[in-house]
Structure 1
Amino acid sequence: MDYSKLAEEIYFAKDAADYLGISTQRLNMLVKEEKISPFKKSPSGTLFHISELKKRQEELSIFDEYKRNHDETGRFEIDTSIKQESLNFATLLNALNVTEKKLNPLVDAFSERYDITEPITNLVEEYSHFFNLNAEKLISEYRQAKDAFSKLKYNDEILKRGSKDYPILLSEVEQAPRFLYVRGKKALLDEIRTVSLVGSRNASPRAKESTYKLAKKLGANGITVISGLAKGIDVSAHLGALENGFNTIAVIGTNLNQYYPSENKDVQIEIENKGLVVSQFSPANQTQRWFFPLRNGVMSGLSLATIIMEAGETSGALKQADFALKQNRKILIAKNVMENKKIKWPEKYVEKGAVVVESPRDVLRELATVEVLNIKSKKDSDYQYKIRQVDVDLSTVKDPEKCID
């Protein structure tokens, strides 16, 4: 037997995931779903044979070809129960002019009597009576919402809270929205090594440069950088990841069909192609000013930690810090921010447990102490919880440069 050839055909889990272009978490999910079979499983690791990986890759290419041939118009179709439910939900948000928080219990009560995955037009009388809405207005709102949904890209996805695709970290927090609208590499939502970089839209050149450098260092350590695609710190964080070939997620305060601010449109399109864009707002939503601080709850919920790179007393970054406190997530503050005597907020957050950092090594050291609680095991019917410690390799930060300054 040619053992050298056999060795070349056997892949460890990380190498297998890289071969397929997915995360190791997604690979593990495919194994659990029996969509890919390991060559061998043992306490020391899982091995995969190249033939099985090629088989899976071929299946994916056939699927992609089918999608291309059957979606020539690029039209988004309401072809799943989750898509239909989200369309119904968006219709009610507009018709009732209420927040998601107020609508959730009403829809849950309605679902106890009726099928909320049926088109509203099939249950107009029931919806009208239960929600005290004029039938004609309801139908009109539904048609407008459906038209807005049709303008999504054909491969955009809608994830429902509680489904297997919904990100685990976010699902643990109160601010987890009922639906997430995503465009790009959905597999990035399986990552739990995630950090938000936030700060002022009118950031100083020094802070933007520090943010870029930090995003690059975090990406080199396999950490996904999350930010909000705003001017200043946010876009610097995204570019630090993108321009160096690392993962980034943009959590936006508009729906997926909008590009705001317009000056960051090219960056958003690049993230759609190389990373992931996430919105909690349906395409039928009219963007409101309060959407932007609201999305900070999702950003924090998707992240193990939030790092504030630079912020004034009224910065929206502090809203995310407040969410992080509620969600029991780490808050890290750049040292130069603490040294700014013109602002008082840093002391308040340090008193509440925020940690001051001045180098990528400091950040990684803090992440290495994070214990991710409540990771749900699908094997347990009662969803027993596990405790996982985030693994970061401090040795990859070869120079202790203080780039957060």
Structure 2
Amino acid sequence: MQQTGTKALHYETLVSAVKGSEATASQAFAAANAAFDVTEPLLLHINEYATFLGVDASLVSEAYYRCRPLFEEMDDSMVVLDPESPFWPKQIDNFAYVPQFLYAQGNVSLLKEPSVSVIGTRSPSLEGRQLAQRTSLELGQAGFAVASGLALGIDGVAHKAALGLGYPTIAVIGTPLGSYYPGEHEELQKQISRQGLVVSRFSPAAKTQKWHFLLRNRLMSALSLASVVVEDRDGGGAVRQASFALEQKRYLFIYQESVDNQSVLWPRQFAGKSRVFVIKKPQDLPRLLNQALKNKDGVGKPKQKAVQLDLFGSGSP
């Protein structure tokens, strides 16, 4: 196992020993890193790790032997990145819930390329599917990688549209790389790992939780220059990513037909805010985004208080 993978294993051991608390594990791991070489065998420093965590050493030992086999089963095509890795995406470093490590499979250089998230509901209308497809094609043609979350519906359409014409696509997933969720997208995930990039903040030892998919959306937004919500319901995962995008000083694109849809409230909550663009057709997207990036300015009214969305609320992946 390479040094970064070893560090990731030791960090994940600490996370497991404290029942998933990344904050506690991160503090302990930072203390350990300052005290000794964290690439050395964990058992050499088990008492120090336990002290930094404030738990009995037996808990650390049990966690280590639980996590190690799962790391050893990682495919050779899977890469572990940390902030010292050459392909680490620096654009995520200043956002909330930044991961200690990323797990990637595929063309990791895409993490250094400009990308835009194309996201939306798992149950889109026919018009929504067509709009997602055209959005991905316009972005790909303009030189942007299409990022999405590999979910059913809009996400899958966005990925497939990019793959269909050979444009780069990035799947940001809410599970470990060796898992497939939803099961219907197993082959799509494998195809993206060959032709694009699959990236996760969750280690092979992580047990998937519902709220992991909101952490996925936070990461996807931070990786992207902008998020395009094609179609979603009030309170949907894509709407929450819209809030994350503004929180992270990214751009947000909404289609006029969503704003005009009186059956949902979210588009009008965002329309008119700084860094939010309401567009009529996909062809407008690359031009307006490039213009915004050039001018370093948003459109609409001065920034208002962001819509507050509960990270641990009832959201669907």
Whether TM-score is above 0.5 comes out as yes
1:304, 1:370 within 8 Å by CA — same for their partners in 2? no
Question: Corresponding residue for 1:151?
Answer: 73
Distance between the aligned counterparts of 2:122 and 2:143, measured in 1?
26
Q: Label 1:334 to 1:272 Cα distance change in 2 as closer, same or farther (>3 A).
A: same
Question: Corresponding residue for 2:300?
Answer: none
Distance between the aligned counterparts of 1:108 and 1:124, measured in 2?
15
Is 1:312 matched up with 2:218? Answer: no
Counterpart residue identity of residue 146, structure 1: R
Distance between the aligned counterparts of 2:77 and 2:273, measured in 1?
42
Distance between the aligned counterparts of 1:351 and 1:102, measured in 2?
39
Question: Corresponding residue for 2:51?
Answer: 129
- TM (norm. structure 1) is 0.70
Distance between the aligned counterparts of 2:203 and 2:294, measured in 1?
30
Indicate the RMSD between aligned Cα atoms, in angstroms.
1.7
Counterpart residue identity of residue 138, structure 2: K
Equivalent residue in structure 1 for 2:170, among 241, 245, 249? 249
1:59-94 alpha-carbon deviations (Å, 9 max, x no partner): xxxxxxxxxxxxxxxxxxx222x2111100111111
2:106, 2:194 within 8 Å by CA — same for their partners in 1? yes
Question: Corresponding residue for 1:240?
Answer: 161
1:171-200 alpha-carbon deviations (Å, 9 max, x no partner): 3433431110000011111102x1100111
SS at match of 1:183: strand
Counterpart residue identity of residue 284, structure 1: A
Equivalent residue in structure 2 for 1:161, among 83, 90, 96? 83
Question: Corresponding residue for 1:344?
Answer: 265
1:310, 1:337 within 8 Å by CA — same for their partners in 2? yes
Distance between the aligned counterparts of 1:170 and 1:122, measured in 2?
33
Counterpart residue identity of residue 67, structure 2: A
Equivalent residue in structure 2 for 1:260, among 181, 189, 213? 181
Q: Label 1:323 to 1:203 Cα distance change in 2 as closer, same or farther (>3 A).
A: same
How many residues matched? 295
Structure 1 residue 160: Cα displacement: 0.5
1:255-294 alpha-carbon deviations (Å, 9 max, x no partner): 0010000001111010011000000000000000000011
Equivalent residue in structure 1 for 2:206, among 270, 279, 285? 285
Counterpart residue identity of residue 103, structure 1: A
Is 1:101 matched up with 2:27? Answer: no
Question: Corresponding residue for 1:393?
Answer: none
- TM (norm. structure 2) is 0.88
SS at match of 2:170: strand
Question: Corresponding residue for 1:370?
Answer: 292
Distance between the aligned counterparts of 1:198 and 1:124, measured in 2?
43
1:307-338 alpha-carbon deviations (Å, 9 max, x no partner): 00001112111111111111100000012111
Equivalent residue in structure 1 for 2:120, among 194, 199, 221? 199
Structure 1 residue 248: Cα displacement: 0.1
Distance between the aligned counterparts of 2:182 and 2:249, measured in 1?
31
Structure 1 residue 163: Cα displacement: 3.5
Question: Corresponding residue for 2:244?
Answer: 323
Question: Corresponding residue for 1:303?
Answer: 224
Q: Label 1:93 to 1:135 Cα distance change in 2 as closer, same or farther (>3 A).
A: same
1:121-165 alpha-carbon deviations (Å, 9 max, x no partner): 121122223323332332221122110111211121111124432
2:138, 2:286 within 8 Å by CA — same for their partners in 1? no
1:189-213 alpha-carbon deviations (Å, 9 max, x no partner): 1102x11001111111220121012
Which stretch shows the higher mean deviation, 243-252 or 104-113?
104-113
SS at match of 1:103: helix
Distance between the aligned counterparts of 2:90 and 2:280, measured in 1?
30
SS at match of 1:231: coil
Q: After the TM superposition, list the runs of 4 or more consecutive aligned residues in structure 1 that deviate by more than 4 angstroms.
A: none
1:148, 1:283 within 8 Å by CA — same for their partners in 2? yes
Counterpart residue identity of residue 126, structure 1: E
Equivalent residue in structure 2 for 1:356, among 270, 275, 278? 278
Distance between the aligned counterparts of 1:130 and 1:315, measured in 2?
39
1:161, 1:177 within 8 Å by CA — same for their partners in 2? no
2:258, 2:267 within 8 Å by CA — same for their partners in 1? yes
Is 1:86 matched up with 2:27? Answer: no
Equivalent residue in structure 1 for 2:40, among 114, 118, 126? 118
Structure 1 residue 372: Cα displacement: 7.9
1:160, 1:166 within 8 Å by CA — same for their partners in 2? yes
SS at match of 2:180: coil
Unaligned runs of 5+ in 2: 297-317
Matches within 5 A, 1:184-223: 184-192=106-114, 194-223=115-144
Counterpart residue identity of residue 217, structure 1: E
